[in-house]
Amino acid sequence: MMQIVLMDAPAARQVTELSLAVPEGTSVREALILSGWLESRPDFAQSLPQLEVAVWGRKVPLSHVLRDQDRLEFLRPLIVDPKVARRERFKKQGAKTAGLFSTRRPGAKAGY
């Protein structure tokens, strides 16, 4: 038997963690079935073929074979493109108050 951890963040600042003992050679799909999350979360069961999962932050297919101490994470779609969000924040903050060098020490050279 090997230990794995299933992580899910259905919304911002909400994290569900489940430790699970599975037999050697278990795939991601089998781990999901063994965990019981497909029954408790109908949205997972309906979208199983399109479900995106990652092991330690790297996206893997459902056929991926897990190893001992792996952390299986469920990936949810992005609501906003990060580039667009950054551009909008910068527009709202203005060029003088945003960025790494927005505040300088008195007498310091520009850029330091």
Distance CA 25, CA 12 (A): 33
- Residue 67 has a pLDDT of 94
Distance CA 98, CA 111 (A): 14
Q: Are 66 and 27 in contact (CB under 8 A)?
A: yes
- Residue 95 has a pLDDT of 58
Q: Are 53 and 69 in contact (CB under 8 A)?
A: no
The DSSP 8-state label assigned to residue 18 in this structure reads E
Average pLDDT over residues 1-19: 88
Could you tell me the CA-to-CA distances from 110 to 40, 72, 90, 98, 102 in Å, in that order? 57, 46, 20, 15, 10
The per-residue pLDDT for range 57-86, each reduced to its tens digit, is 999 998 999 999 999 998 887 788 889 888
- Residue 76 has a pLDDT of 80
Residue extents of the structural domains in the chain = 2-75
Average model confidence (pLDDT) across the chain: 82
- Residue 61 has a pLDDT of 93
| Side chain identity, residue 105 | R
Distance CA 23, CA 67 (A): 10
CATH number of 2-75: 3.10.20.30
The per-residue pLDDT for range 23-54, each reduced to its tens digit, is 999 999 899 888 887 777 776 656 666 788 99
